[in-house]
Structure 1
Amino acid sequence: MKKSKKLALLALTFTAWGLYKLFAVFQDMQTGCIQFQTHKTCSFENAENFQSLLDVELMFACAWAAGAVICWMVTVEAQRKER
């Protein structure tokens, strides 16, 4: 397997995980509850804590999405060098 194909699979994995995390953030916004490890935090219990957890979850989701973009850029560059 060529290096560019391995990088493309890695980029695809990052993309899928990033999209899943973004979907989870939007789902949490709609339901008003976040499952964090074994504890479920809902907005009606403690709105400030819920908003903080939502911000952290959104930050991690954006980090996964940014990682996916970087992986795709590295994959394209690897394909150019193989030619």
Structure 2
Amino acid sequence: MNANPILLQKKYSRVIECFADKMNISLNAALDFFYRSEVYCLMRDGVSDMHCMSDEYLADELILEYQEREEHVCGQGY
């Protein structure tokens, strides 16, 4: 199922703001990460109705994805 594009854009902005607040990062950093995330792709494509999940849940999913990427990069010795 696909959401109304305008409503989806508003959802993105709320999720990005929640993610930035929880991670204590700038909105620009949160925005950059969000649009490169798997969470964004799932929401955009309407997979499993991810866009229907709460903003808080989606922000927590972004945090998990962020932490996984950090662990992967740190584990590589970069």
TM range (shorter): 0.3 to 0.5
TM-score calculated relative to the size of structure 1: 0.35
More strand by percentage: 1
Larger Rg: 1
